[in-house]
């Protein structure tokens, strides 16, 4: 017998569940539900559904925006963890040349795609530079550094996807751009702001 939480998320996200099912290639909806249950470690089954939606590149911007801030954070963190685990240093072909990607940010944003647009390359370079500046900062505490780096990785993991989740990018950027008020970071935020607009507007 299904528990109350399981019944609630299935009813609440019936249409999203159907879209994820079609994109996943699962043999049945019940098979997808088992995937959701297995993914729900340290999070609710509702949140796990959004993680799977991201995995199968199903657009969830509208539904994601309705999640609580805590749920959004858990989903974003899980997505970043999965991308970080699955990616290793690799060569990416860009404009008939090869770019060697080995920074944490680069690893995340380029993901498993063979080619990337110049706009992604530019923003990725700026995110990597910002991440380095955060690491060098004497103003930020270790916890603040970790929080900002996590948000940068969240952005990076999304911009390399064929269908970035705009709500996830926007939420993470809202946090990161607060660095603009701290000495030494304004120029980085100014450079990134116009580049990131295409991913949040």
Taking only the tens place, the pLDDT of each residue in 28-62 is 888 888 888 888 888 888 888 888 888 887 877 67
* Confidence at residue 91, expressed as pLDDT on a 0 to 100 scale: 37
Task: Look at 37-46, 65-74, 83-92 and tell me which has the smallest mean pLDDT.
Answer: 83-92
User: For residue 62, which of 11, 15, 119 has the smallest C-alpha distance?
Assistant: 15
Under the banding of pLDDT at 50, 70 and 90, the label for residue 134 is very high
Per-residue pLDDT for 167 more than 50? Answer: yes
Per-residue pLDDT for 86 more than 50? Answer: no
* Confidence at residue 29, expressed as pLDDT on a 0 to 100 scale: 85
Residue 92 near residue 101, CB atoms below 8 Å: yes
* Confidence at residue 89, expressed as pLDDT on a 0 to 100 scale: 36
Q: pTM for this one? A: 0.52
Measure Cα distances from 148 to 62, 111, 113 in Å: 25, 20, 25
Q: What value does the mean pLDDT of the chain take?
A: 76
What interhelical angle do 69-86 and 166-176 show, nearest 10? Answer: 100
Residue 52 near residue 35, CB atoms below 8 Å: yes
């Amino acid at each position: 017998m299904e528990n109350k939480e399981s019944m609630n998320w299935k009813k609440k996200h019936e249409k999203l569940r159907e879209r994820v099912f079609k994109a996943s290639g699962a043999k049945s909806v019940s098979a997808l539900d088992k995937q959701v249950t297995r993914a729900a470690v340290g999070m609710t089954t509702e949140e796990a559904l959004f993680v799977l939606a991201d995995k199968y590149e199903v657009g969830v911007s509208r539904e994601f925006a309705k999640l609580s801030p805590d749920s959004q954070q858990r989903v974003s963190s899980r997505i970043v963890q999965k991308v970080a685990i699955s990616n290793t240093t690799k060569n990416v072909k860009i404009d008939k040349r090869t770019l060697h990607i080995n920074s944490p940010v680069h690893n995340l944003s380029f993901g498993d795609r063979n080619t990337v647009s110049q706009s992604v390359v530019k923003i990725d370079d700026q995110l990597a530079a910002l991440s380095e500046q955060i690491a060098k900062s004497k103003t930020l505490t270790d916890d603040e550094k970790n929080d900002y780096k996590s948000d940068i990785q969240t952005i990076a993991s999304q911009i390399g996807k064929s269908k970035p989740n705009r709500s996830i990018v926007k939420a993470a950027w809202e946090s990161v751009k607060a660095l603009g008020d701290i000495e030494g970071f304004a120029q980085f935020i100014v450079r990134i702001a116009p580049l990131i607009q295409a991913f949040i507007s």
